[in-house]
């Protein structure tokens, strides 16, 4: 075999090892991101955990920060030390360390070595003493076996075997804990932490939560070592590594953008703004030009006949598709086979001509040169697609790398659907309440027009019959008086039933204030002088009475401002009587406008100036309406409403 061939095979072998390590990093990052997504979704729940749940949430947050630190901090050693310090302070422990395991030639037991360390103030540093920095598992094989099984280790100083116990005593250890690190499916070492001031009770669930952080640290260290070794290889291998790292960085950006987008959907008050912001985050992370949500429309059998753009973000200078006359709705009648494959895949994409011809016209209309798509599935069905377009230039993208956007795509789709469901429920409830209110008003009107008027007629007829009777005995008078009392009681009960049917509304409780606000709002930015006076001691009015008086007053105010062109308007609200006597309320509205000739009798009202409406409302509440006016002399509207 030639030297070049041998050298080439060595390079291939090294690249394969490198790819395996990088794949491990991807899997670790994806696991961390999935966990973060699960935690974000948990915040939809109204109640949060307490106690152990809060500790677990804090450890998960520390894990996320640790993973991000490993990905973003340029000084690797500083990143590891920062992570150890952050986790150590979060656990309120005294020493954090990264310990690597070594397998010496058989039959010697495995060895361990401390390679990173953080200590709290006043705690001895293990790495400063050569006798403390490394050792073997001789006598503590049970700890090594437990780590091999992937189980966290928890030991108090009194339970440790010699000579390991003496070593730990010199370090001031009262409680020892170790979280196994797995790299490429093999035990690599542990992340250890020691309680030196006081041994704390730590649950296995708490320790297990740190497993992701431990694996991230171990994988990162191995990756760092591999990268340092790769720096000594040839320029071609450096170019290959740069290409792989670019893919990883793109994946990292997508993972981060996905997490931020999911959080944005949960926290933004206006949902549509939240969706558009999420699309912008994804678009900027991908360095693309247009990101949009296409929703399936008009399903024929199992596949949509068209897609409609529901939300969109575009880079400055790029044509919006959502408002484009020929591209906002995309027909897909002849693409059933493509849609079937898309529904079963994690995505599709490429240059324009790689797409089915049925889509070309719509994409060309908005100058899309390369289009990539991630399906949105809800309840196992194709709901739509998350699509992004490269319009400035065709970019070759790894479609498999876009699979990380599945979470973001499904979050966006489910969020849109949930928002629509909520809006539909709100609209249905509003329609229901409107129908109920309409029916109650109808029933109130029916009661007033039948029972209330009948009782009023009976009372009047009894009163009219008294002087016509020839018999003037006291017995007959008592009977007639009793009939009159019964009729008036029935009338009062009928009116109370009418009032009860109208919905209660605190907004009508202060009638004078409501009239003032109406007058102030209508006369704002005019020179009209307004005055509102209250006479007597105010008392609560039935909602039915108060509401109709307000509407009558508003109609009179409208006439004064619009037709009479009044310069001054005065409202007087008079409360007469008290709870022990008959009560009534008087509403008087006077203006200095041009005046008019009012009708001589109620039946002569012919619809002018809203007088019909005012008269009808007075009839509803049994009030007397009088209008005094003459051309050039202003107008006075007086409403007197008795309260039974």
CA gap 205, 201 in Å, rounded: 12
Residue 382 binned pLDDT confidence (cut-offs 50, 70, 90): confident
> Are 260 and 40 within 8 A, CB to CB?
no
Nearest to 257 by CA among 271, 278, 288: 278
Residue 589 binned pLDDT confidence (cut-offs 50, 70, 90): very high
Q: Is the pLDDT of residue 47 over 50?
A: no
Q: Is the pLDDT of residue 410 over 90?
A: no
Question: Which pair of structure tokens corresponds to residue 428?
Answer: 């249905």
Residue 40 binned pLDDT confidence (cut-offs 50, 70, 90): very low
Residue 388 backbone class (left: φ over 0; alpha: ψ -120 to 50; beta: rest): beta
Q: Is the pLDDT of residue 515 over 50?
A: yes
Q: What is the pLDDT of residue 176?
A: 94
Q: What is the pLDDT of residue 639?
A: 94
Nearest to 198 by CA among 173, 215, 167, 220: 173
| Residues forming a β-bridge with 569 | 530, 591
Which of 30-44, 101-115, 211-225, 420-434 is predicted least confidently?
30-44
Number of H helices, E strands in the chain: 17, 17
Q: Is the pLDDT of residue 268 over 60?
A: yes
Q: Is the pLDDT of residue 45 over 50?
A: no
Calculate mean pLDDT across residues 603-623: 73
Kindly list the strands in the beta sheet with 303-314, ordered across the sheet, starting from the edge strand earlier in the chain: 329-331, 303-314, 290-300, 381-390, 370-378, 348-351
Q: What is the pLDDT of residue 179?
A: 93
Q: Is the pLDDT of residue 446 over 70?
A: no
CA gap 616, 78 in Å, rounded: 83
What is the DSSP code (8-state) at residue 133?
S
Which of 194-198, 273-277, 361-365 is predicted least confidently?
273-277
Q: What is the pLDDT of residue 29?
A: 54
Q: What is the pLDDT of residue 543?
A: 78
Question: Which pair of structure tokens corresponds to residue 465?
Answer: 């019959």
> Are 167 and 132 within 8 A, CB to CB?
yes
Q: Is the pLDDT of residue 462 over 70?
A: no
Calculate mean pLDDT across residues 291-295: 88
Calculate mean pLDDT across residues 332-351: 80
Q: Is the pLDDT of residue 476 over 80?
A: no
Neighbours of 458 (CB within 10 A): 17
> Are 372 and 405 within 8 A, CB to CB?
no
Q: What is the pLDDT of residue 450?
A: 58
| Residues forming a β-bridge with 135 | 112
Q: Is the pLDDT of residue 303 over 80?
A: no
CA gap 567, 255 in Å, rounded: 68
What does the pLDDT look like over 238-251, one tens digit per residue? 677 777 777 777 77
- Percentage of residues of the chain with pLDDT beyond 70: 76
- Which residue has better confidence, 291 or 51? 291
Q: What is the pLDDT of residue 202?
A: 84
What does the pLDDT look like over 90-128, one tens digit per residue? 889 999 999 999 887 777 788 999 999 999 999 999 999
């Amino acid at each position: 075999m030639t030297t070049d061939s041998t050298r080439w095979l060595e390079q291939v072998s090294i690249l394969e090892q490198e790819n395996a390590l990088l794949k491990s990093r991807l899997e670790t990052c994806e696991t961390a991101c999935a966990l973060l997504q699960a935690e974000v979704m948990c915040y939809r729940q109204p109640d949060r955990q307490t106690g152990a749940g809060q500790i677990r949430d804090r450890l998960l947050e520390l894990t996320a920060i640790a993973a991000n630190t490993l990905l973003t901090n340029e000084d690797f050693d500083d990143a590891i030390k920062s992570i150890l310090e952050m986790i150590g302070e979060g656990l309120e422990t005294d020493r954090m360390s990264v310990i690597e395991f070594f397998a010496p030639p058989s039959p010697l037991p495995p060895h361990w070595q401390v390679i990173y360390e953080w200590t709290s103030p006043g705690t001895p540093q293990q790495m400063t003493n050569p006798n403390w920095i490394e050792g073997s598992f001789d006598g503590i094989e049970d700890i090594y076996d437990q780590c091999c099984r992937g189980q966290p280790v928890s030991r108090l100083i009194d339970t440790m075997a010699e000579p390991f116990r003496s070593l730990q005593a010199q370090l001031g250890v009262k409680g020892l804990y170790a979280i196994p690190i797995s790299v490429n499916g093999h035990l690599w070492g542990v992340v250890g932490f020691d309680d030196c001031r006081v041994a704390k009770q730590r649950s296995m669930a708490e320790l297990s939560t740190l497993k992701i952080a431990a694996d991230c640290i171990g994988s990162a260290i191995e990756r760092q070592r591999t990268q340092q070794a790769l720096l000594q290889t040839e320029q071609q291998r450096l170019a290959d590594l740069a290409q792989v790292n670019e893919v990883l960085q793109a994946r990292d950006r997508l993972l981060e953008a996905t997490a931020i987008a999911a959080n944005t959907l949960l926290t933004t008050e206006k949902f549509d703004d939240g969706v558009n912001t999420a699309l912008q985050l994804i678009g900027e992370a991908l360095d693309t030009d247009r990101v949009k949500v296409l929703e399936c429309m008009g399903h024929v059998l199992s596949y949509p006949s068209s897609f409609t753009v529901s939300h969109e973000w575009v880079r400055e200078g790029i044509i919006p598709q959502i408002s484009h006359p020929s591209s906002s709705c995309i027909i897909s009648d002849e693409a059933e086979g493509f849609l079937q494959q898309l529904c079963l895949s994690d995505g599709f994409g490429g240059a324009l001509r790689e797409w089915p011809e049925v889509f070309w016209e719509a994409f060309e209309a908005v100058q899309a040169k390369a289009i990539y798509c991630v399906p949105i599935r809800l309840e196992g069905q194709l709901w739509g697609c998350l699509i992004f377009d490269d319009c400035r230039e065709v970019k070759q993208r790894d479609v498999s790398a876009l699979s990380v956007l599945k979470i973001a795509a499904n979050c966006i789709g489910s969020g849109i659907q949930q928002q629509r469901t909520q809006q539909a429920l709100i609209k249905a409830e509003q329609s229901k309440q409107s129908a109920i209110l309409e029916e109650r008003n109808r029933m109130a009107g029916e009661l007033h027009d039948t029972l209330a008027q009948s009782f009023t007629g009976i009372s009047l007829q009894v009163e009219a019959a008294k002087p016509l009777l020839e018999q003037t005995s006291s017995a007959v008078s008592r009977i007639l008086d009793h009939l009159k009392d019964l009729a008036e009681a029935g009338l009062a009960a009928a009116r109370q039933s009418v009032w009860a049917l109208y919905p209660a509304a605190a907004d009508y409780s202060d009638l004078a204030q409501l009239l003032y606000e109406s007058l102030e709002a209508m006369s704002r930015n005019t020179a009209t002088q307004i005055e509102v006076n209250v006479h007597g001691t105010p008392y609560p009015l039935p909602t039915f009475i108060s509401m109709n008086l307000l509407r009558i007053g508003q109609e009179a105010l409208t006439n004064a401002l619009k037709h009479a062109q009044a310069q001054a308007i005065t409202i007087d609200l008079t409360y007469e009587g008290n709870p022990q006597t008959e009560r009534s309320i008087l509403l008087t509205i006077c203006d200095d406008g041009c005046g008019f000739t009012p009708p001589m009798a109620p039946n002569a009202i012919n619809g002018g100036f809203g007088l019909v409406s005012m008269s009808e409302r007075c009839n509803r509440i049994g009030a007397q309406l009088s209008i005094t006016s003459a051309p050039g002399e202003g107008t006075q509207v007086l409403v007197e409403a008795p309260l039974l």
